[in-house]
Structures are given as structure tokens and as C-alpha cells.
Amino acid sequence: MHLVLYVSSLRVVEGGTASFSVALAGYPLSGTPGGLLTVTVERTDGDVDLSVREGASLTFDPATWSTPQEVVLAAAKDADNEDGTATFTLSAPGLESRTVIVTEADQDPLAPVFTTVPVTQAVVDVPYRLGVHARGRPAPAYVLRTAPPGMSLDALGTLTWTPSQLGEVDVAVVASNGQQPDAELSFRLVVGRDQPPSARIIAPLQDERLSGPLADFSCECIDDVGCVRALFRVDGVPLVTQEGPGPVYSVSDWDITGLAPGGHVLQVFVTDSAGHEVEAKAVTVYVDRPGPDAGTAVDGGRPIEVGDEGDDIIDPWSCDCATTGLAPAVWVGLGLLGLRARRRRA
């Protein structure tokens, strides 16, 4: 059994009320006094101007447990111009509590304030687009006060322009709603040539050791207009080419079972919408695998000779422990003894 809420959030206009419903999914067969279950509703955090007007205590019985009951919340008028928020918690004995996030929608007039951070870089012959937004009550209207020839602003605040030459231009947008003062968003837009992209390999990292059948091979491409393609190479051999806008390209299921143990060089070449291609800084990684034959003596590359006094180290990874009957710890111990003998002779 659990509480059933028909909303997870609610908006209450300042000075008004709003409601939501509560019911139960299932009902306990026993354990509740008189067969009754009481659900309490209270504000547990946030704006004190939000409160429970009706339904702070809801009682359910075996005949009404599935019938929704109403909770009415109220938002008192206040002196500020901000939208308050509060958390209301519903709880009952033996049940998991539930919460509703409530927002007080302030109705007091509010002079406009821009919330947009403008993009101040543009590329010649490439469409420039910026959505401007100002907060205010009532909703503000926008006017383009200063702009280069050909720039336009629609009623929703979308600024568009395609620059035809290099240089700098000033832009100013005004938002007004009858409340003073008006808001102004002013900035200088710098028009330049399309620049080559930048790229970096973000996985795997330099000198990372890889094991297992699969690995992640990813890169990030940053461009002033947009990236369109990434070519992945391993040891100079093409692995895969991915098309798309980026900025992240990824071979998440890169099969490394065909790579020999040891070091491998990873490269990525990215291309932007203007056809510029650049290479990310190459990364060297290492593939780890057990040795091929059991009990192989690792001796700095020298063959084992008769009378060689412990100058060799038994590689514990190369043993076939299942057939020799020796535990891996024994092989590790033999390797350490060989290493100690080598150091003693040195």
C-alpha cells in the first residue's frame, strides 16, 4: 500500500488557492486503530506565505481508501515581487512519505530585467541567432533600438542576422511593460572568419592501461560554427568515421580483442562545417593480456642457462594454475624470490 498523488508540483497565484487530490493504493487489512488511516499534510520547507487551507488531516477507511480526497493550499499576499516556493509533505503511519513542490505566482507588477547572456561572436556569411528574454510582470515587449542593416527581432525575442563582412557592430534591445525603468541589453558583436575547430581525446587517457574485450574511445570537438565529422584511428589505421554535429563523438563499444599486448597510438581527426580538419593530440595506451605459455621465466630477455642462480623471475600471469595444482600465491612467491636473488647478485 502507498500514497497516490495526482501531481508532483503545483502553482498557486498570490492571494488565491489551488488544490490537488490524494488517495491510497491498497488498504491494510489490520494494524490501524478502528480500521482508520490518517494522512497528514504540512509544509516542511520554504515560503511561509504558502499554507494548507483545507485537508491538513485526511482520514481513510476500508470503504473509502481508493476515493481521492482534496487538499487545498493558499498563497497569502506579500510585499515582495518574488515567486516563493515551498515543500509540502504527506505522511501516514507505516507508509512512505510523499512531497509536493508548490510555487507562489506573485502578481505584483515587476519592471523588466534581462536574463540573457548574449553571444558576442559571429562568423561572416553564417546565420547568427540569439533568443533574448526579460523577466517582468506583465510580460515585456521587445524593440530593437540599435542594430546593423539586415538584423531583425521578432515578437518572441528572437534576434537573427547574417553578416556579410568582417568587423564589429553594436546591438541594443529594449524590453518594456509599462513599469519603470525599461530594461536594455547592449553588446558589441564581433564578426570574424570561420576558425578551425579544436579537438581533444577524452577517453581513454594518456598511458591508460586497457583490459577486457571492450573500451571507450571518445573525443570532444569545439568549433565557432559547428563540427560535422570525426575520424578515429588506431596505430594509423582507420577505425570508424562518425558523422554528426558533435560536440562529443564516441566509440563506446570499441573492440580491443584484436590488439596485441603493449602500446598503441590513438588518433582523432575532426572536421567543421567549413571543411577545416584538425588532429587532436594523440594518446598512447597499453593493452594488458596474460602471457601465452605457462611458467615462462622472465629474465630481461636472456635465455635461461644452466647454473643461472635465481636470476630469473617467474611470471605469475603466465602459469596454468589449474593444471599445475599450484596456487597463484606460490607463483608470486617464486617471482619475488627470483627478484631478491637478482638484487643480491647486483
User: Can you give the three-state secondary structure of the chain, one letter per residue?
Assistant: CEEEECCCEEEEECCCEEEEEEEEECCCCCCCHHHCEEEEEEEEEECCCEEEEECCEEEECCCCCCCCEEEEEEECCCCCCCCCEEEEEEECCCCCCEEEEEEEECCCCEEEEECCCCCCEEECCCCEEEECCEEEECCCEEEEEECCCCCEECCCCEEEECCCCCEEEEEEEEEECCCCCCEEEEEEEEEECCCCCEEEEEECCCCCEECCCEEEEEEEEECCCCEEEEEEEECCEEEEEEECCCCEEEEEEEECCCCCCEEEEEEEEEEECCCCEEECCCEEEEECCCCCCCCCEECCCCCCCCCCCCCCEECHHHCCHHHHCCCHHHHHHHHHHHHHHHHHHC
Residue 115 has pLDDT above 60, yes or no: yes
CATH code 3.50.7.10 for 111-192: no
Residue 336 has pLDDT above 70, yes or no: no
Q: 84-120 b/e with 16+ CB inside 10 Å = b?
A: bebebebbbeebeebebebbbebeeebbbebebebee
CATH code 2.60.40.10 for 2-105: yes
Task: Write down the domain spans for the chain.
Answer: 2-105, 111-192, 198-287, 297-345
Assigned CATH class of 198-287: mainly beta
pLDDT digits (tens, 9 = 90+) for 38-73: 999 999 999 999 999 999 999 998 888 889 999 999
Q: What is the pTM of this model?
A: 0.55
pLDDT digits (tens, 9 = 90+) for 224-246: 999 999 999 999 999 999 999 98
Residue 204's CB is within 10 A of a number of other CB atoms, namely: 19
Residue 28 has pLDDT above 80, yes or no: no
Do the first three CATH levels of 111-192 and 198-287 match, i.e. the same topology?
yes
Residue 301 has pLDDT above 60, yes or no: no
Identify the weakest region by mean pLDDT among 6-15, 73-82, 190-199, 229-238: 73-82
Q: How confident is the model at residue 150 (pLDDT cuts 50, 70, 90)?
A: very high
Q: Are 132 and 159 in contact (CB under 8 A)?
A: yes
User: Alpha-carbon distance 120 to 51, whole Å?
Assistant: 45
Identify the weakest region by mean pLDDT among 48-62, 145-159, 317-331: 317-331
Residue 4 has pLDDT above 50, yes or no: yes
